[in-house]
Amino acid sequence: MPRVCALTGKKVVAGRNVSHAHNVTSRRFKPNLQKKRVMINGKKVRVLVSTRALRSLTRGKTKNLNLDV
């Protein structure tokens, strides 16, 4: 299962850890994804949703979200 938000498209991005001694190591920043059941076209579908999209769903702000999953 890919770590991609079904509604906003948020995904894993690459970055670096930098210590106080300036030792640099690569790392991945993972989005905070939660499983959520969403009604799409009259069917309940379980999707991985970022917490930002989850907040938008609970507030009823679905205008900017991609609900054609």
CA dist 54 and 29 (Å) reads 19
Residue range 13-59, CATH number: 2.30.170.40
60 vs 20: which has the higher pLDDT: 20
| pLDDT tens, residue by residue, 1-19 | 689 998 889 999 999 999 9
Q: What is d(CA 13, CA 53) in angstroms, rounded to the nearest whole number?
A: 18
What pLDDT, on the 0 to 100 scale, is given for residue 64?
A: 61
Summarize pLDDT for 23-67 with one digit per residue, the tens. 999 999 999 999 999 877 888 989 899 999 889 888 877 666 666
Question: CB–CB of 57/36 below 8 Å?
Answer: yes
- Domain extent listing, the chain: 13-59
